[in-house]
Amino acid sequence: MREVSPRELVAVTGERVPVPDPARLVHLQFRRFAGCPICNLHLRSIVQRHDEISAAGIREVVFFHSPADELREYDLPFAVVADPGKRYYREFGVESGGRALLHPRTWGAILRGSALTLVGRFRAPAARQEGGRLGLPADFLIDPSGRVLASKHGEHAYDQWSVDELLAHARTAVAG
């Protein structure tokens, strides 16, 4: 995907989110499901550096393939979009597959995220996930005109941009 047509997403809070954003870069993140220990671990790094991300002119928009009711319980400083039917996942070519949890890099993230869930730092996932548990992450950085400046489709469940990688992509976009 090289360009994103204008649209207005609705976050689980009811906020209307323009994509592309006429004034900022947009980082679309496709995560797995509400309570996913791997996603929780990654999103914690995004929350911890959210001010830095915003200062770089980036708006975060995070998709989950969970129902809005499950996502409203989270207190996140960015737009969260429920996509239980995976409409946007399909549109952006975000896949699911058995390899999501098989890669050794996922194992440490699963253990760390699960441990934080057990001690009450993260909310546990629902026992049944309508969209499945084998989703792969994806990241897209979109400029105000809708052009996709950079993208990544994860090879396994913990294969996404770090905050440093996101900021580097944004610096490259601004410098270019």
* pLDDT, tens digit (0-9, with 9 covering 90-100), for 75-109: 899 999 999 999 999 999 998 766 666 666 765 56
The average confidence (pLDDT) of the chain is 85
Grade residue 74 by pLDDT with cuts at 50, 70 and 90.
confident
Return the pLDDT at 98. 66
Compute the 3-state secondary structure of the chain and give helix, strand, coil in percent, each to the nearest 5: 35, 25, 45
pTM of the model: 0.84
Lowest mean pLDDT among 51-55, 95-99, 114-118: 114-118
Domain positions in the chain: 7-175
Cα 158 to Cα 40: distance, rounded to the nearest angstrom: 11
CATH topology of domain 7-175: Glutaredoxin (3.40.30)
Question: What is the helix (H) or strand (E) element at residue 28, kind and residue range?
Answer: strand 25-30
pLDDT at residue 111 is higher than 80: no
